[in-house]
Amino acid sequence: MEIILEGIGRRFNRDWIFRHLDYRFTAGQRYAILGPNGSGKSTLLQVVASSLTPSAGHITYRLAGKAVEPDEMYRYLALAAPYIELIEEFSLREQLRFHFSHKNYLAGFNEQAIIDFLELHAAKDKQLRHFSSGMKQRVKLVLACCADTPLILLDEPTSNLDEPGVNWYLRLVERTAHGRLLIICSNQEREYSFCDHHLYITDYKT
């Protein structure tokens, strides 16, 4: 997967969130989009995911050298973010089965392997609304990272995770990100210390 941003900008009303952004994301690399809270990191991630249309500029998506239309990008990405909700009435197993009826499992994973990795055997039949915020965050992360997509997008991935949860997240990324394009929005170094490239959103303010 390759994503090329040319003169990208996004504004709300008359205020530009970012502008004149030229950048290239390439397969197999790990990128961190950095900046303080409210700086536009999540907005840029949604533009990259093609869930928001840029107010200026052009995005090109390519997979194996072939162009991908923006309205088809959902097929090729998996996203975990604070604003993405789980289906609270589902049990963990039901959520996994629903999610992976739309996405293929990453090689080496299946329903049981994910439950094992989550370390949530005792909660596999419990409704997600009874999960703690940290447990829910782990579920969001495995749904994204264990789906067989060339692009993984993670926004504030250690939200609601304690120190053991952060270590668990780092193991998850190490096991699942190889050879894929990974983009992380963050302002905490522990979330992105393994990233090869840093994009500072504040460099594109007007």
What pLDDT is attached to residue 2? Answer: 97
Specify the pTM.
0.96
What pLDDT is attached to residue 205? Answer: 86
151-155 and 77-80: which strand pairing? parallel
Is the CATH code 3.30.210.10 the one for domain 2-204?
Answer: no
Q: Where are the domains of the chain?
A: 2-204
Alpha-carbon distance 199 to 2, whole Å? Answer: 16
Q: What is the DSSP letter of 86?
A: P
Q: Which two tokens stand for residue 156?
A: 């504030």
Instruction: Estimate the crossing angle of helix 92-99 against helix 133-145, to 10 degrees.
Output: 20
Alpha-carbon distance 203 to 79, whole Å? Answer: 25
What pLDDT is attached to residue 180? Answer: 97
Q: Would you give per-residue pLDDT tens digits along the chain (206 residues)?
A: 999 999 999 999 999 999 999 999 999 999 999 999 999 999 999 999 999 999 999 999 999 989 999 999 999 999 999 999 999 999 999 999 999 999 999 999 999 999 999 999 999 999 999 999 999 999 999 999 999 999 999 999 999 999 999 999 999 999 999 999 999 999 999 999 999 999 999 999 86
